[in-house]
Chains A and B, each alone.
Chain A
């Protein structure tokens, strides 16, 4: 059964026909004897993959090419093999190998395996009364090397020279564990208990089937009850009388009763998610993001989140909203959950967090912008994941955002949310929906910035909208327009925002050029301490391209919230050092970010870009940081930004300690969700947090 071997990657085998297969034929082609140990496995593999392909196409006989016969002949010292002999040989060899393969499959089946092993082929050879290939073992699946040269391509079996003393001197490996038996309950009176030994109750596909075709559901274990009941009523008989009865079972049985353990789990998780202990929260979120068995609790989580958002928006409890959004993110990260069914609860909650007029008690001080950003990104992610032609999530969301953005009476906060929500949907949306409105929006901002001061809140809002627009539009415009960036031209085209846009675009261009050189340069921006970090390309202030949504997991060994400013980081990979720079938006009045390097209380900082050899710098997965400020950096600063730059070991020794403003290559960072966290933990915000 060839499909049992689909793990044989045909790519591996392409071209293997040119290898140095070594067969010598004796007895007038009567039997092919494998002369060089090991070589039979490869032709077998080759033929089997060929046969696998053959299965897909039609049946036709696959034979080894004659060139390999030549190569083999050469390798055993027979030069000038005639073409006819080659053809005859290759047919014979192919046939014999197929026979062996077929017999080997028998052994695999009886060995109750899905993988063919070399011992199966040995046994098949034994069956044919051929001496098996003793001692052919390999760590690798296909141990052949490829070489080409002189117009020939060869595959060969690499046998390294082994120094015996090395083997003698190496410590003995651990003795493998002995075979043992373990018993568990696969099912108890028809129900499969949810224990770690059993697979998660329902796979994503099953959940999907359940939600889309509720009448057809067959869940393992759980559904038994349902079908039995059906049978009891005689509903499932195939004939006509059964059909009318079958209609009785209209309503899908959803079995969402939670076991006591599940209830406990649910309680613990939800408490941890909104509780005060950050470590617990991280664990809880991690669990939500990875646990495969949450399917039954999903409706409860979903309700928890939507209700939570409803209540906390009214109460303006920023911290809790942030926690809830992080729960949404964790749910979305869980690959085993079929969320589609609960979008109707989750999406409104997320949208609320993006566009709500007020999300916190003190809009002038608290960083609700970060929450909006984060929620907007979540929204974009769910659009990407869940939008289909039937539910049209993306277009509906776009419409909602656009509509409220176009409304003159819309507040700055909502305005910001709408723009953020749209901008996160990608450059196309920016191009078609945001850029055309830049001039109008600019005028509106100008009115607030330069007009009579009505309220500080409006002003802050306008500033944020402005920086948001600049940030998102610059990179798109940089791609839309060709280089000579004329300030006047920008001004006429984009109005008030024109000049600023112009400078951002120019920065974006230089940045792009720089990136072209430094492909590998990356910065990490902390979004959340755990479980995820979002990675963004090092970008110009306000002009970084669309954020890359890639997420990397934080090694759990690292503690993220270091309380002391004096310890910058304990990088886990020893050869690499991190420099953590905290940048804080200095004065609240401008969005131009000034980089303040606060690493280790300013004792060491460096103009990183100059010392990093771009070619070798690699992305390092992490970082911990905390502004070296503590109470010093107080709530008066609305923003703190961090850039984490990893240095490869080669550069580590050459760190210069200079306190300076960075060159333009890294001038700022995007502010991410991580901030929210900081905010909520910081003294300024803690008054609102629930703990």
Chain B
């Protein structure tokens, strides 16, 4: 971020990008947006701050004042004006808007979208430490550093008697342990956020030994899935440390969301007021967002299913936005008659099963799916002749597709990368399974042809001049036979390649790397065409849209970007995650993007508006794989905790939990007709799951859909259709061919 220098905001971008309105409260948003905008290359230097969405609640007053002060100090009169005006607006007029548009936006969130350069840098410095900021950022950034951090952390400055913290906490603990069973599980949720905030307050106010004692006394009580965070926390013992620690600053700046039934909440409130336990009450008021619902308190298992993320559960409103998860209507393509008949029959018989992943199989039904977005909701590229040919091929293949099911399991063909010395970091197959690409730790990108057809480059410009452009086989003639080989290496990145993706038409390949760039490679010339700069930090994943043209990338800078291949700047920036974005996936209708993150949440973003439309919590570790079902209705996610979770996108609900893997799941893939989910993991296994059964089992229950409080059955063993162990090869990629043969890839650890 240091490279971000001087964060200039850019008018162009503003028109283009609708920055996601604040989701997580002031500070975080601040930082994200600052990074976002300043990161865009070649941006102009307009200093104004432009869009601001501010919703003010009393708690934010202090922060707002600090910001105003800061702006004034930097002579940003215009910004001050705007901010003041917005802050002065009556609360209720803004609240609905904020809650609606912001995924996780709390009523009290304030979004300050643009800040002047120095401020951006200073905010950034909280991540990198001043020396890094100093290294590249303008010098003033360093100078501005101190005051800003104070702003961010100011909420902690209130003083309480440090020695009483333990008393407060244990008092609350005692109370919660004695309440009725039905409330206990719910109220226990407050332990963790309270613990963290109290600890941070102690640390912030320089009560080091008390903080340590507090930590040692109560850290053991916390849920085991917070262990990672607790370890980070345990390292943080000084106020100076807080400045650079992203995780905890996020914790501080974003409100921890708890879902508690009204009864339980009243109980807690009464208790705290009776006992005059103001310290805790303040924290609850200030740092926690309690999402109160009417009805039965949730059980421990229900709570456990949904908790685990860095910032608590998603608010219910966050998942209320309508998502058009249906598939787009396929353009009509002339097919040889016999094939078409067969196809049509198929479709009618099983309307559900026509779910193509990338080039969707032609859905001939004239009726528009009510859940589908309108055809031109986002502009999609025109089909070229070659695309049409490919579609015809696809449909032909689809007729030969094996119908999978619990009694008809796919065959698995495993591609082992040999002699890679464990340097294989990413793999992708083309949709027609003819090419494999691998990204390696040595910065190379390699492409193999797995069909007898070798890889050939296009002839040089001089030679191209000589060929007869009118001839029928011109496409064949432009290829240089001399360059035919089974694999090609492409050099260009300067760091390990973590993400790789073929374009649907097989002409391009995307790769994202530690060096902060996403590169677009031509598979005709095997050269790099564009390096998309913007992330500046390692880009963990990238993927092409199923219709080509667009692609999404996400990385360490916690934002996902939507790009179009012909723009060197991103079209959309999706910000809101509290930690690295570890994986990105396009919805089959290309209107949505899902991102998984180290903050243990999954977000679904609307490509059109740039808004976060779904937040899924429940994973207990960083999410490393995502997969949309071919019909677009479901999402599967796999994390380091070895569990696969299934989500209903339309309802925003968790649908199931598949336990069985013992290590990080790096790859997930639905079969072409969506009946089987394959998961590949670091534990050297490929597992097949009967997801239709999982969905059917749950769909019968109406109540859960209404409340969002699902009862997960522990039926992973029944849903597990097969486990296939490799000798010592972690499975890092899976792919179903068009005929439903499962391809897996990994690098041997031997």
Contacts and interface: CB of A to CB of B under 8 A. Distances in A.
Interface of A: 1-2, 26-27, 29-31, 33, 51, 54-55, 58-61, 91-92, 94-95, 98-99, 102, 106-107, 109-115, 119, 123, 126-130, 176-190, 192, 197-199, 218, 220-221, 224, 227-228, 231-232, 236-238
Interface in B455-479: none
Nearest to A237: B718
Given A112-B666, A180-B419, A123 B538 contact: yes
Contacts of B450: 181, 183
Contact of B416 (A1, A181, A227, A228): A181
Interface in B129-160: 129-132, 134-136
Interface stretch (B265-273, B303-311, B420-428, B628-636): B420-428
Nearest to B747: A112
Given A181-B415, A187-B724, A232-B407, A61 B237 contact: yes
A28 to B, nearest CB: 9
A106 B132 contact: no
30 contacts: A26-B131, A33-B131, A58-B219, A58-B220, A61-B212, A95-B237, A99-B235, A109-B622, A109-B640, A111-B425, A114-B730, A129-B131, A179-B418, A179-B420, A179-B446, A180-B418, A181-B415, A181-B448, A182-B415, A183-B450, A184-B414, A185-B414, A186-B412, A186-B686, A186-B724, A187-B410, A187-B686, A187-B722, A220-B724, A224-B721
Which 7 A/B pairs are nearest by Cβ-Cβ distance? A129-B132, A190-B409, A31-B131, A186-B412, A186-B414, A187-B412, A177-B419
Q: What bracket does the count of chain B residues touching chain A fall in?
A: 35 or more
Contacts of A190: 409, 721-722
Contacts of A51: 231
Given A55-B227, A185-B412, A220-B725, 20 more contacts: A30-B129, A99-B244, A106-B556, A107-B514, A110-B538, A110-B540, A114-B749, A123-B495, A129-B128, A130-B132, A176-B421, A177-B418, A179-B438, A180-B418, A181-B417, A186-B414, A186-B686, A189-B408, A192-B725, A218-B723
Contacts of A126: 514
B130 A110 contact: no
A199 B231 contact: no
Interface in B207-250: 212, 215-216, 219-220, 227-228, 230-238, 240-241, 244-245
A126 B682 CA distance: 26
Interface of B: 2, 128-132, 134-136, 212, 215-216, 219-220, 227-228, 230-238, 240-241, 244-245, 406-422, 424-425, 436, 438, 440-441, 446, 448, 450, 495-496, 498, 514, 537-538, 540, 556, 580, 582, 598, 622, 624, 640, 664, 666, 682, 685-686, 713, 715, 717-718, 721-727, 730, 732, 744, 747, 749
Given A179-B446, A186-B413, A238 B496 contact: no
B727 A199 contact: yes
A183 B415 contact: yes
Contacts of A220: 685, 722-725
Contacts of B418: 177, 179-182
B691 to A, nearest CB: 15
Contact of B537 (A127, A192, A218): A127
Nearest to A97: B235
B723 A114 contact: no
B466 to A, nearest CB: 34
A189 B232 CA distance: 46
A179 B411 contact: no
Contact of B406 (A91, A110, A231): A231
A99 B135 CA distance: 19
A239 to B, nearest CB: 10
B422 A197 contact: no
Contacts of B732: 112
A27 B131 contact: yes
Nearest to A110: B498
Contacts of A227: 721
Question: Most B CB atoms within 10 A — which of A176, A183, A189?
Answer: A183
A670 to B, nearest CB: 41
A119 B409 contact: no
Given A29-B240, A91-B237, A179-B446, A198 B216 contact: no
B726 A186 contact: yes
B664 A109 contact: yes
Contacts of A114: 682, 730, 749
B514 A123 contact: yes
A372 to B, nearest CB: 42
Given A185-B414, A236-B718, A111 B441 contact: yes
Question: Most B CB atoms within 10 A — which of A61, A189, A220, A237?
Answer: A61
A30 B130 contact: yes
A127 B582 CA distance: 16
A176 to B, nearest CB: 7
B556 A129 contact: no
Contact of B744 (A1, A26, A106, A186): A186
B232 to A, nearest CB: 7
Contacts of B747: 112
A377 to B, nearest CB: 35
B425 A110 contact: yes
Contacts of B727: 197-199
B537 A31 contact: no
Contacts of B136: 129
B129 A188 contact: no
B725 A128 contact: no
